[in-house]
Amino acid sequence: MTPEYAAPEAAEGRTRDSRHGCLCLRVLLYVVADGTPPTGAGPRTPAGLVKAILDTEPSRPSDVVGFK
């Protein structure tokens, strides 16, 4: 598991399922579109990264790339 691409369930240590793979792909596409992960840029401690995954509401991808 790559922490920056983890689903909230995985970050909390709960059981993962096929939705985890879908979320990883969405995060990857978000990074390609915006250049930063949905949780924001910058180095984080492991605990800070888990908190960001659980508490951050990412911008809509269409807002990130400028489509309306």
What are 13-65's pLDDT values in tens digits? 777 677 667 778 888 888 888 888 888 777 778 888 888 888 888 777 777 66
The reply to whether 66 falls in a domain is: no
The reply to whether 36 falls in a domain is: yes
pTM check: above 0.85: no
- In angstroms, the CA 68 to CA 58 distance is 17
Residue 48, domain extent: 3-58
Per the structure, how many domains does the chain have?
Answer: 1
Q: For residue 31, report the phi and psi dihedrals to the nearest 5 degrees.
A: -65, -40
